[in-house]
Amino acid sequence: MTVFKTYLKILRKNIVMVIIFTFLLVLFGGLSMSSQDKSLSFSAIKPDIIIINNDEKIGITKGFIDYLKENSNTPSVKNTEEALNDALFYNDTDYIIYIPKGFNEDFMSGKIDHIDVKKADNFNASYSDMLINRYLNIASIYKDKVSNQDELVKVVNKTLKNDTKINITTKLDTTSLEKAQFFFDFESYSMLVCLIFIISLILSIFNEEKIRKRNVISSSSYKRNNRILLLANLLYAFVLWIIYFGLALILLGDIIWTSNGILYVINSFVHLITITSLAFLIGNVVTNKDAVNGITNIIALGTSFFCGVFVPLAYLPDSVIKIAHCLPTYYYVKSNSIITSLEEINFNTLQPVLINMAILISFAILFVILSNIVSNKRRKIG
Amino acid sequence: MEKVIEVKDLTKEYNKGIKAVDNLSLNVYKGEILGLLGPNGSGKSTTINCILSLLNYSKGSIKIFGKEMNPNSYDIKSQIGVVFQDVSVFDELTVYENLDYFCGLYIKDKKLRKQYIEDAIELVGLTEFKKYYPKQLSGGLLRRLNIACGIAHKPKLIFFDEPTVAVDPQSRNNILNGIKKLRDNGATIVYTTHYMEEVETLCDRIIILDKGNILARGTSDELKELAEIEEKITVEVNNLDVKYIEKISELKNVDVVTYSANTLLITYKKGKNNISDMVEFLKNNKIKYNKIFSERPTLNDVFLELTGKELRD
């Protein structure tokens, strides 16, 4: 009990660090919950199209121009070649369409094979192409089946107004799961700091040559004291995880009780085992307790940046991701990302997550073996 | 006399064949203070670390309280206290918490431990500093805390490994008096130091070590007998003419005469009335002097004769 009580005393004197990083988790987790919209809606974008009409605004020409105006923004630019080119160059417009003289008659007689356009190299320009082709293709289909241009415009407009019904077949509440993913990703950072700092600090204090010598010469078994220290650290790690699980329940609510939510929690627990063993290794290697703070920051911040905790993996360069493969947190974050997109849960869909968990456990075993080697070497002074 | 420690042919060899302790044998008897005296690197701490099973040793045997000592001899360890050279306490715990931890490694009974801690605090004079953290204590107080942590469980055998290094004179006296009290209360003490004055005033027996070997052992007086010189006379005299130095060296019983920094040092191998002869010589030659005093040879002189170097070299 002497060792356990002393562990608690030292933990109590360094609890501020744990509180700060838990507060950060609550803060960022809470912000994430309130910042994202829960509703699922879509709206069409409107590209910027300048229409240079050289024809009379009647019949199909009028219908075409009205359609373009309805589906795009039409910036007002002086109708000179220089001004139009500048507008395109400075991204004031995405697209310029030149409607030729006699367009309505030529269209009806099928003489139009192309329309002059100038466009930017972006998505909006491609979308503008699509809008124009859509109108003209429909008009081409109906032009021989109607008696005049006004009737053609009416038919085309009617066809275009038929909305496509979209049925979302997925059962996933992607937005909520993304929030959960953010929480659990960020949780890894808080956990890295709280576990590595406290466990490494306390182990390095007990492993300091001066303290270790006193412990070794005492009548209390050195191995037994080490076991108590190990159990105290495991208990601390577990209690911290339970607290974070409680925070997840408060902040994420019912998401936790979904299949995906439970998978996040399991993944977080596996990650906890790996970080705890890493903290043991660091605590056994580092004997200078003053260095623990710096080492914690380097490992926690470095790991979190490399492994996509702060910046999503998709935005990280390949070279960074290659390095991240050597770090356990990468597999944790990757699993979180996979869990977010898991619609159906069965062995096949879970396989990548299970493989990542196996890798995390392998890391934990490696860290434990290395810790034991270092600890055994330290037991005797010479 | 009852042997508390029995070391036979202890050899500690490091890699590359360097011997830190070479075939060392010693006994420590119940109730005595044994001083291990030697310069830095003489093997004092290595010997203690081997005795405490903190170090593996290459050869020899160690018995404490009549039993073979090994890393798992917890029954023996329960009766041993160690005060290390470096202050070995938790910076994160207060004076009382530190004592509670280190005493708690031996004494499980809460009430008894509390009593022992109070006794230790009183013995080293830290009553007013119970709630202080080590960083708030002066060097001397820190040393006292270090001692209290080593002896709080009232061990029968205590090792002090240079406990007074870098300690002010007042704290040193306090520490030495505390050690005497422990001996008077029945503890057996092994005391290592390179301060010869400390072993002379404190220790019942002394072992002089150098390069892992025992050079001499005995009481302070017995060791001084080993010195070839019998007496040292020091005279403080300003601007002494060189011709007198030659004259003094021709006086009866004089062995060596040196004069530097206005101090004349004359060593004698034997003889009586050497100081009165010297006073008479100074008077006859009308040499004015500030001070004159006679000393017996010190342990440093013994060490100097045995090794050709000073203890603090």
Mean of the pLDDT values across residues A345-370? 91
Tokens of B183: 């001996």
Residue spans per domain, chain B: 3-225, 231-296
Q: Residue A382: pLDDT band by 50, 70, 90 thresholds?
A: very low
Condensed to tens digits (0 to 9), the pLDDT of residues A75-122 reads 888 888 899 999 988 889 999 999 998 888 888 888 887 889 999 888
Our CA angle for A98, A79, A105, nearest 5°, is 30
Mean of the pLDDT values across residues B86-91? 90
| Interface contact B84-A214, CB threshold 8 A | yes
Report pLDDT for B140.
85
If phi over 0 gives left and psi between -120 and 50 gives alpha, with beta otherwise, what is residue A110? left
Mean of the pLDDT values across residues A265-282? 93
Report pLDDT for B38.
84
Condensed to tens digits (0 to 9), the pLDDT of residues B277-302 reads 899 999 999 898 999 998 888 877 77
Q: Residues of chain A with pLDDT > 90: what percent?
A: 25
Q: How far is CA A281 from CA A203, A217, A286, B250, in A?
A: 9, 24, 9, 74
Average pLDDT in chain A: 86
Residues of A in contact with B53 (CB under 8 A): 217
Residues of A in contact with B147 (CB under 8 A): none
Mean of the pLDDT values across residues A61-83? 90
Residue spans per domain, chain A: 2-38+171-379, 49-161
Q: What is the distance in angstroms between the Cα of B202 and the nearest Cα belonging to chain A?
A: 25
Closest to A324 (Cα-Cα) out of B188, B250, A1, A332 = A332
CATH number of A49-161: 3.40.1710
Residues of B in contact with A211 (CB under 8 A): 88-90
Q: Residue B236: pLDDT band by 50, 70, 90 thresholds?
A: very high
Partner-chain residue, chosen from B54, B80, B104, that has the shortest CB–CB distance to A2: B104
DSSP class of residue A36 equals S
Report pLDDT for B101.
93
Closest to A302 (Cα-Cα) out of A279, A327, A285 = A327
Measure the CA–CA gap between B139 and B179, rounded to whole angstroms. Answer: 18
| Interface contact B97-A9, CB threshold 8 A | yes
Range B231-296: architecture per CATH: 2-Layer Sandwich (3.30)
Q: Residues B291, B257: contact at Cβ < 8 Å?
A: no
Tokens of A60: 């199909």
Inter-chain Cβ pairs, chain A and chain B, closer than 8 A: 74
Report pLDDT for B79.
92
Mutate to test the interface with A, among B14, B90, B143, B162 (most CBs of A within 10 A): B90
Bridge-based pairing state of the strands B213-218 and B205-210: antiparallel
Alpha-carbon B234 to chain mean position? 26
Give the up-direction half-sphere exposure of residue A110: CA atoms within 13 A in the CB hemisphere. Answer: 5
At A45 the three-state DSSP class reads coil
Q: Residues B312, B249: contact at Cβ < 8 Å?
A: no
Which residue's structure tokens are 């006292």? B144
Closest to A331 (Cα-Cα) out of A301, A371, A361, A311 = A361
Neighbours of B213 (CB within 10 A): 15
Tokens of B6: 């029995």
Residue B76 neighbours by CB under 8 Å, 6+ apart: B64, B65, B67, B69
Instruction: Enumerate the H helices of B52-195 as residue ranges.
Output: 74-77, 95-104, 110-124, 139-151, 169-184
Report pLDDT for B18.
83
Mean of the pLDDT values across residues A223-230? 85
Measure the CA–CA gap between A189 and A212, rounded to whole angstroms. Answer: 31
Measure the CA–CA gap between A316 and A320, rounded to whole angstroms. Answer: 6
Our CA angle for A307, A313, A317, nearest 5°, is 95
Residues of B in contact with A382 (CB under 8 A): 14, 49, 55-56
Fold of B3-225: Rossmann fold (3.40.50)
Q: For residue A204, what is the nearest residue in chain B, using CA coordinates?
A: B90
Q: Residue B307: pLDDT band by 50, 70, 90 thresholds?
A: confident
Q: Round to the nearest angstrom and report the end-to-end CA distance of chain A.
A: 29
Q: Does B105 touch chain A (CB under 8 A)?
A: yes
Neighbours of B60 (CB within 10 A): 16
Q: Is the ipTM of this complex over 0.90?
A: no
Tokens of A275: 């970080």
Mean of the pLDDT values across residues A276-302? 88
Partner-chain residue, chosen from B86, B100, B104, that has the shortest CB–CB distance to A210: B86
Residue A297 clears pLDDT 60, i.e. is over it:
yes
